[in-house]
Structure 1
Amino acid sequence: MTTEILHTDLTTTWVGIASLIIFVVGYYFIAAEDKYLINKAKPALFAGTMIFMLIGVYYAINGLDGAHLHHEIELLIYEIAGIFFFLYVAMTYIEAMIDRNVFSALRYNLVSKGYSYKKLFWITGLLAFFISPVADNLTTALILSTVLITIDKTNKAFIVPSAINIVVAANAGGAWSPFGDITTLMVWVDGKGAFVDFLYLFPASILGWFVTAFLLSRFVPNGTPPFAADEKKVYISAGGKVIMGLFALTIASAVLSHQVLHLPAMWGMMFGLAVLKLYIYRMSREVRYDSDGIVCPPVNVFSFIAKIENDTLLFFFGILAAVGGLHFLGFLEYFTALYSQFGATTVNIGVGFLSAIVDNVPVMSAVLKSSPDMGASAHAQWMLVTLTAGVGGSLISFGSAAGVGVMGKLHGIYTFGAHLKLAWTVLVGYIVSVSVWYVQFLILGIGA
């Protein structure tokens, strides 16, 4: 006769202990990917899939009914798929805009105007803050760090504080939009807040970033970067502006799907991908010529898809699966107990510091999976943990996807040590963000 394990603590069984070891070892290799030259997707995917393989073995050995396990896996797949396909479409659009020279034209316009280092520092920071709510913090940070390295790749005194500024701005900008960070997307998809609820985090996000940027700007050198007067001007290629408009339409359809039509947000994104494919098909049927009169090759949407950072998508799949496995085994019940013992505000502020060490994606996944009792001000507390998980990831260079991406793009320049020397500026901004949230939500009651 088979029995069912429902909400049973499996943390002290061999499968619980083995799964925890796999998670810790896997996360060590994720954090030390530069040391071992192993992409973070590999250990994440292995840990996430292996944990559930072991759980399946445990059920089979003990003759347990696997219906509950199968049901939990289906729910987890649904959760991951929503995030996976959302990012899949967003990345496709970004690659399409890169192909159409949208961002190359931006870089040229910035460099050719003769702006000083300090002005470029503020411009790239502002762009990161306002682009990340739409394009996501990882993509924004990668694009603008590329701009940095093309401005002056030899001037570390400019690049390092500017890189930190971009990471902080991208994470802060992503905190007040459901699309800006994987953590805010997770909170939104989970139904912890409506689309407009995240907009109330704008004051805390921008003031926290501004304070950090002001402190960092003191370390930016004076002068202007070198620029070749004969450098050829870059224009947005044919279809680029239309694709930008289609991307805005796609984001709008995702919001409409989630808020009005009761469909997953990723459904609206996939609709946007279908529209993009139809437009690219129309473009490919037209004969186009470049500035030298040479026939341009036909545009193929699959060439955009081929350039997507699939390792990033697989990393998120693996890490979310791993946290889901720990939740199934009962480990997240310990996390829930912290809220009862120390209170929601204290723990949610601490989540920001934990995000810097562990990475904000698994931390937010753990919070959502454990679904703790946030108390009477539950909505305000969910907004707080959204803010702290996003902004707190900037405290250490590898605490967020944006930071990891910039470390890879500016390899040997923007490093863990270089970030740590100026991390105190990020901490001051973090304190400001939390203080603004406290006054706005708990004292004034705005957005609560």
Structure 2
Amino acid sequence: MTTLTALIVAVFVLGYFMIAIESLTKINKAAIALLMFVGCWTIFMFDPGQYLAAAIGDKIPQAVSEVIEHHLGTTSTTLFFLMGAMTIVELVDQNGGFNFVRDLMRTTSKRSLLWRIAIMTFFLSAILDNLTTSIVMIMILRKLVSDHKDRIKYASLVIIAANSGGAFSPIGDVTTIMLWNKGLITAAGVIKEIFIPSVVSMVIPAFIMQYTLKGKLGYAATPQAATSASDLTARQRKVIFFLGVGGLIFVPIFKSITHLPPFVGILLVLGVLWTVSEIFYRHLGHTEEKGAMQKRVTNMLSRIDMSTILFFLGILMAVACLETIGVLVQLGQGLNIVFEGNHFLVTGIIGVLSSIVDNVPLVAGCMGMYPMTAVGDFAQDGIFWQLLAYCAGVGGSMLIIGSAAGVVVMGLEKITFGWYMKHISWIAFVGYLAGIVCYFVQRVVLGV
């Protein structure tokens, strides 16, 4: 490792540590993430030639610009997807769209609600994706749980269940989509082999967490839902609900038909929903218009949590620098050597690492390191690729910034890194290990 590489890694580790102690420093994590991003790439510019073959002489600025723009483009697709999904869900929620879901899940038992939340999140994340599912479930939770201390426990389980549910579905997580598109796993294969380990990785944490909840629920007040009833008719609210939720379900279908990135489908749904809601609201009178403005897309866009968006930008771009200098690939190769090709240990460690850095470059690095073979563990639906899909997806639950679901829930519910690490990380780790053991028994012992 060169001095420059060591400095970049040191900046990343220091920034990560500062994010971890946010509750002590009282410095917003977004500010630290942005400094990480700029710091890593600034050090990179001292000698980009050692990392980029094309960065020679006059071509250095152009080569660096192309690399940063490539990573920024990839990051932006995630950010636009996040902003679009948050706006769609907020629009549906503000207009009373989730009221019937809230009524369906309402119960006086805290433990009963925990299981309902876990099961719904798990299966919904397999149909949508873990990011969108987390946003939807947090909106529903806000209608059901008034006590913030209790709600962050439910929200933490949403992160675990969303990541577990996304791991067994070919469209449930970015990493499974990558492996599926590359032909390393098949839809039928990953569902058949990873479904039970994914269920185990969700059920065990839920079972442990139910003992932290006692007593009855005090429901959150829902004044927004009540005011929305006077603005739109019941039929109009249903139209907005089905356009919003149906549109989110349609996004993976749109991607498979057009082969366009998922954020394009999200923006299509947002555009349609925006147009329809404007048509509904334009018929309201002047007095009603003042209240309705709070529920129109233009107002909701101004309320997007930009600190979460900028945090995401900083983290992903800092990790992109680590990917560019080759640290992630070297790490993967080192793991393979140290553990002598034991795929359970290698993928298990990769899963733990995916809770620290973004799982997308980790999986991308593995796809580049290990070529697909005709037979064996590296064949299509082989043990390595299926374990990679499970570990990279579920492993992100161990730290709150280890997955897109965790980051968005962290922003929405103001959960601190330290609280999650103290109370939830070990629970997620137990479920993660149990899922790996379950897969080992399934594939190696029973030979299913």
> TM-score with structure 1 length normalisation?
0.76
Q: How does 1:139-158 map to 2 (within 5 A)?
A: 140-141=133-134, 144=137
User: 2: distance between equivalents of 1:288 and 1:109?
Assistant: 34
Could you say which residue in structure 2 is the equivalent of 1:266? 263
Q: Secondary structure at the match of 1:312?
A: helix
Could you say which residue in structure 2 is the equivalent of 1:171? 163
Q: Aligned pair in 2 of structure 1 residues 332, 116: CA closer, same or farther (>3 Å)?
A: closer
Q: How does 1:311-326 map to 2 (within 5 A)?
A: 311-326=307-322
Could you say which residue in structure 2 is the equivalent of 1:35? 24
Q: Aligned pair in 2 of structure 1 residues 197, 35: CA closer, same or farther (>3 Å)?
A: farther
User: 1:120: how far off?
Assistant: 1.8
Query: Structure 1 stretch 62-71 or stretch 312-321: which is displaced more?
Result: 62-71
User: 1:94: how far off?
Assistant: 1.4
Query: Structure 1 stretch 22-31 or stretch 101-110: which is displaced more?
Result: 101-110
User: 1:334: how far off?
Assistant: 1.6
Amino acid at match of 1:123: R
Deviations 1:350-406 (A, max 9, x none): 1222334x25x2x44234246321664344434422322332233345544545665
User: 1: distance between equivalents of 2:281 and 2:222?
Assistant: 33
User: 1: distance between equivalents of 2:167 and 2:336?
Assistant: 26
* 2:329 corresponds to which of 333, 340, 344: 333
Could you say which residue in structure 2 is the equivalent of 1:95? 90
User: 1:121: how far off?
Assistant: 2.1
Instruction: Indicate if the aligned counterparts of 1:332 and 1:369 stay in contact, CA closer than 8 A.
Output: yes
Could you say which residue in structure 2 is the equivalent of 1:12? 2
User: 2: distance between equivalents of 1:56 and 1:328?
Assistant: 12
Q: How does 1:187-336 map to 2 (within 5 A)?
A: 199-200=191-192, 201-221=194-214, 223-226=215-218, 234=226, 237=229, 238=232, 239-287=236-284, 296-298=291-293, 300-336=296-332
Instruction: Indicate if the aligned counterparts of 2:143 and 2:220 stay in contact, CA closer than 8 A.
Output: no
Could you say which residue in structure 2 is the equivalent of 1:45? 34
Q: Aligned pair in 2 of structure 1 residues 399, 56: CA closer, same or farther (>3 Å)?
A: closer
Could you say which residue in structure 2 is the equivalent of 1:6? none
Q: Secondary structure at the match of 1:225?
A: coil
Deviations 1:102-158 (A, max 9, x none): 3466446655xx5222222222222332344466545655665676677565696x6
User: 1:53: how far off?
Assistant: 3.7
Could you say which residue in structure 2 is the equivalent of 1:25? 14
Could you say which residue in structure 2 is the equivalent of 1:388? 391
Show structure 2 runs of 5+ residues with no match.
50-54
Amino acid at match of 1:58: D
Instruction: Indicate if the aligned counterparts of 1:339 and 1:374 stay in contact, CA closer than 8 A.
Output: no
Could you say which residue in structure 2 is the equivalent of 1:426? 428
Could you say which residue in structure 2 is the equivalent of 1:350? 349
User: 1:21: how far off?
Assistant: 2.4
Amino acid at match of 1:214: F
Instruction: Indicate if the aligned counterparts of 1:94 and 1:135 stay in contact, CA closer than 8 A.
Output: no
Q: Aligned pair in 2 of structure 1 residues 147, 261: CA closer, same or farther (>3 Å)?
A: closer
Amino acid at match of 2:352: F
Q: Does 1:65 align with 2:59?
A: yes
User: 2: distance between equivalents of 1:155 and 1:63?
Assistant: 57
* 1:123 corresponds to which of 113, 116, 120: 116
User: 1: distance between equivalents of 2:56 and 2:30?
Assistant: 32
User: 1: distance between equivalents of 2:417 and 2:79?
Assistant: 28
Q: Aligned pair in 2 of structure 1 residues 425, 97: CA closer, same or farther (>3 Å)?
A: same
Amino acid at match of 2:393: G
User: 1:346: how far off?
Assistant: 1.7
Amino acid at match of 1:303: N
Q: Aligned pair in 2 of structure 1 residues 145, 34: CA closer, same or farther (>3 Å)?
A: farther
User: 2: distance between equivalents of 1:152 and 1:254?
Assistant: 30
Could you say which residue in structure 2 is the equivalent of 1:3? none
User: 1:172: how far off?
Assistant: 1.7
Q: Secondary structure at the match of 2:216?
A: coil
User: 1:205: how far off?
Assistant: 1.7
User: 1: distance between equivalents of 2:152 and 2:76?
Assistant: 36
Deviations 1:242-297 (A, max 9, x none): 2332234434553244323332232222222221222123223222799xx89853
Instruction: Indicate if the aligned counterparts of 1:323 and 1:366 stay in contact, CA closer than 8 A.
Output: no
User: 1:36: how far off?
Assistant: 1.9
Query: Structure 1 stretch 437-446 or stretch 120-129: which is displaced more?
Result: 437-446
* 1:83 corresponds to which of 78, 87, 106: 78
Deviations 1:27-62 (A, max 9, x none): 222222222222322222232234334434535998
Could you say which residue in structure 1 is the equivalent of 2:52? none
Query: Structure 1 stretch 125-134 or stretch 80-89: which is displaced more?
Result: 125-134
Identity %: 28
> TM-score with structure 2 length normalisation?
0.76
Q: Secondary structure at the match of 1:115?
A: coil
Q: Aligned pair in 2 of structure 1 residues 285, 419: CA closer, same or farther (>3 Å)?
A: same
User: 2: distance between equivalents of 1:303 and 1:233?
Assistant: 17
User: 1: distance between equivalents of 2:324 and 2:40?
Assistant: 10
Q: Aligned pair in 2 of structure 1 residues 72, 388: CA closer, same or farther (>3 Å)?
A: same
Q: Aligned pair in 2 of structure 1 residues 368, 110: CA closer, same or farther (>3 Å)?
A: same
When the two chains are superposed, the root-mean-square deviation of aligned CA atoms in Å is: 4.1
User: 1:213: how far off?
Assistant: 1.7
Query: Structure 1 stretch 314-323 or stretch 137-146: which is displaced more?
Result: 137-146
Deviations 1:202-251 (A, max 9, x none): 33222321233223334432x43346999998587534432332234434
The structure with the greater share of residues assigned to helix is 2
User: 1:93: how far off?
Assistant: 0.8
Q: Aligned pair in 2 of structure 1 residues 331, 423: CA closer, same or farther (>3 Å)?
A: closer
Amino acid at match of 2:346: V
User: 2: distance between equivalents of 1:388 and 1:146?
Assistant: 28
Instruction: Indicate if the aligned counterparts of 2:114 and 2:154 stay in contact, CA closer than 8 A.
Output: yes
Question: How many residue pairs end up in the alignment?
Answer: 425
